[in-house]
Structure 1
């Protein structure tokens, strides 16, 4: 049940970095019925566009031969990026490590990540075979007294780690015997009395095991281009998002207000410094899915290294989606009324700041995710918002005195504005969203809770 794009944000982009030249041609295009006044306006617009280009986008004259770089031609980009038209906005979830605590009171005797009362939302089962090592603890892991039994520690470079056992996994069976309802000491005896290859049936759910944060980076770079009439280096605002895609805009202030000029999918791309162009601080990126090489120029060696480190971290995809991401993918493929136990449902208007208009959606709130449907009879969700890290409050927006503001943990991420049918409905949604967000904890807080409540354990 793997995610094919749910942990990415939405839009099919086209590389239109040659748009400046097209805009210039459009300004000079004659219109039927035009007269002297019309052409005077055209000349004025053309002059203003040239001034804007020279101040805002200043192309650097190239001293590089045309054959040394790939042509910057428009090409359909099948990656996704959030445009507030659709797709799942997941950046806050992927930017930090989160664990699910459900509806449990965190003041209990066990931490929320390992609490035996945690409601299992989704289970991913796998078989782990551990070759017996040497010493007093030959298997190299520790289990906790709970139902189900939870793995609380895995020795570094031990037999269990080599077999793929992870902290937060819970044990369903030992050598084929179901252990979900027996004490952890009996499960340990089953392991010790068994063969030299310990076979465990392991389960995972969204309450056990944090997600893996992904890198983000943003800033101005000069990008080498071969498109249009002007060839050379153009200054662009680049944004490496936490879904491991590199987007670029003409200006910093375009981010969040306009579509990206283009999006580069970094999975398994080749990234590194480049000395072939005879310029300092140049590095290149060769995406796996594109037949071209991108060249970028930073302002300093330190800045170049910062980008290369961030890009190298982004090009290695997470090998397995977090279970909760699979859960949201599953739910998004259901009709709205088929999602089990929703926390809130109904009509909401969402502000699309690119179109500058409110768009109505039928919405389902479930476990920290707001699913957006075109209507109550829709067959699947067309988008959604991962709510980890957001705060929610009632706030005026534009001409509307009462809207729901979803505020991100920092300005790096997007704010969202929603509006229900009436003020009482707004309050109902705000209360439900607050409760849903509280189901998730940052990993550092969960670890602190765990250290404050040490459970009974057995080392294997």
Structure 2
């Protein structure tokens, strides 16, 4: 499976290919344009007994996907994810630690010893071939440590890292078990080895994934208006290219089309005799997309971002795997939460407030349907967000979570009363402050006096 996608939740449907020619929204718009033209013609001849096709027009306008709104409560990244993660993947973030303060530099930048920040996560390794089919080594120690991970092995592909602490093998606790017994559990188990490991989430920053936004002209062959159409394109960090009719439609309407770029062929095209044209041939389907930018610099910007999406790195950051592990747990099974309780989230598309049971942990807000739920239904990665108390409509006190850039989504939450709002705001600020951008961490580290070694 593609682990470069944002988090999949239990029971979520897989996003279907929306580029099929018989169901694309571009063609739906074209059909609507043809029907509208026929309708106007029929209105002209209605006085002479011509039949009206108003009933057909009504049916098509209701069924047009362009007219439907998107449920933005949790689905703004893509339809197979319940988590909003876009801000996290747009930059390199470093976890400063549980007791972070402005004077603390991240462990990955400091020579001074720092306490590791261990969080549990699940790693599933498919058995390979040879004498060492799993592709990793463990140490004779308590706790049992992963000391080596083979390059290009099943373990590396699954995301196992040197320094991970082995907590359970195929559901069996090994924290007090001899090294040899833990190894035997792996050898005698199924072909998919399931490990519960403790990982240091402050070890290294995440790698940003490509994102790009802007207007491009897209060539179309169908419909009444053939030629080039100006559209608002959004390349998201999951490697999917979305496009809308207008910039204002992003976040409010469903995209007209979604194309996965992994494995696609992209490059400059000169066959059409038009400058700044480039094309994209997706791995699936038989379509070729032609785009036209406004300048050579703009074309290069898109080609560089799209090339990264075509060749993604298939490994999650450790913290992403930790949150994925936490989503599979009941709310009260998440260890040492920073805050928990009921919150209402504003669904802007329907202008209603939806109640969740919420767990806050390490800059991630998990949403559950209720306290007895078996897994999370969604959540928000909060890195870089600012939190404040605001008034909104008839509510005098709501929690506003604002992103560092307008391209990301703003969230509004509300607890049962003003005091609860203040409690959540304090907890959210502390949790968000555990993370810092790598650029800021480096700048802060360089501004500090040299660390001295006592002799």
TM over 0.5: yes
The unaligned stretches of length 5 or more in structure 2 are 19-23, 41-45, 62-74, 124-134, 138-144, 146-150, 166-196
Residues 228-239 of structure 1 correspond to what in structure 2 (within 5 A)?
228-239=223-234
CA distance in 2, matches of 1:110, 1:348: 33
Preserved CA contact (<8 Å) 1:8 1:243: no
Residues 338-377 of structure 1 correspond to what in structure 2 (within 5 A)?
338-377=333-372
- What SS does the corresponding residue of 2:26 show, helix, strand or coil? coil
Q: Are 1:116 and 2:114 an aligned pair?
A: yes
The Cα of 1:86 is off from its aligned counterpart by 6.0
Preserved CA contact (<8 Å) 2:90 2:209: yes
CA distance in 2, matches of 1:234, 1:381: 41
CA distance in 1, matches of 2:260, 2:428: 32
Residues 272-294 of structure 1, C-alpha deviations (whole Å, 9 max, x = no match): 11122333221111222443221
Residues 99-134 of structure 1, C-alpha deviations (whole Å, 9 max, x = no match): 112222447787444553232124799859xxxxxx
The Cα of 1:96 is off from its aligned counterpart by 0.9
Once the two structures are overlaid, the 10-residue window that deviates more, 289-298 or 112-121, is: 112-121
Q: Are 1:262 and 2:262 an aligned pair?
A: no
The Cα of 1:314 is off from its aligned counterpart by 2.6
CA distance in 2, matches of 1:206, 1:290: 39
Report the equivalent of 1:250: 245
CA distance in 2, matches of 1:265, 1:370: 28
Q: Are 1:95 and 2:90 an aligned pair?
A: yes
CA distance in 2, matches of 1:26, 1:399: 43
Q: Are 1:317 and 2:312 an aligned pair?
A: yes
The Cα of 1:390 is off from its aligned counterpart by 0.4
> 388, 397, 412: which is aligned to 1:402?
397
> 21, 33, 42: which is aligned to 2:30?
21
RMSD: 4.2
> 429, 435, 446: which is aligned to 2:441?
446
CA distance in 2, matches of 1:19, 1:124: 43
CA distance in 2, matches of 1:309, 1:88: 27
The Cα of 1:218 is off from its aligned counterpart by 1.2
Number of equivalenced pairs: 358
With the length of structure 1 as denominator, give the TM-score of the two structures: 0.67
Report the equivalent of 1:6: 6
Preserved CA contact (<8 Å) 1:124 1:323: no
The Cα of 1:270 is off from its aligned counterpart by 1.6
Once the two structures are overlaid, the 10-residue window that deviates more, 113-122 or 340-349, is: 113-122
Preserved CA contact (<8 Å) 2:8 2:80: no
> 286, 292, 295: which is aligned to 2:287?
292
CA separation of 1:227 and 1:423: change in aligned 2, threshold 3 A: farther
Report the equivalent of 2:172: none
Report the equivalent of 2:220: 225
CA separation of 1:421 and 1:12: change in aligned 2, threshold 3 A: farther
Report the equivalent of 1:215: 210
CA distance in 1, matches of 2:121, 2:106: 20
CA separation of 1:289 and 1:426: change in aligned 2, threshold 3 A: farther
The Cα of 1:257 is off from its aligned counterpart by 1.9
Preserved CA contact (<8 Å) 2:3 2:315: no
CA distance in 2, matches of 1:419, 1:86: 23
With the length of structure 2 as denominator, give the TM-score of the two structures: 0.67
Residues 408-457 of structure 1, C-alpha deviations (whole Å, 9 max, x = no match): 11112111111112211111111111111011111123334555354769
CA distance in 2, matches of 1:212, 1:258: 30
Report the equivalent of 1:302: 297
Residues 26-175 of structure 1 correspond to what in structure 2 (within 5 A)?
81-82=76-77, 87-106=82-101, 111-113=106-108, 115-122=113-120, 127=136
CA distance in 2, matches of 1:354, 1:324: 30
Once the two structures are overlaid, the 10-residue window that deviates more, 322-331 or 278-287, is: 278-287
- What SS does the corresponding residue of 1:17 show, helix, strand or coil? helix
- What SS does the corresponding residue of 1:20 show, helix, strand or coil? helix
Preserved CA contact (<8 Å) 1:218 1:237: yes
Preserved CA contact (<8 Å) 1:13 1:262: no
The Cα of 1:221 is off from its aligned counterpart by 0.8
- What SS does the corresponding residue of 1:219 show, helix, strand or coil? strand
Residues 198-248 of structure 1, C-alpha deviations (whole Å, 9 max, x = no match): xxxx99521111001123221111112234444332211011223332211
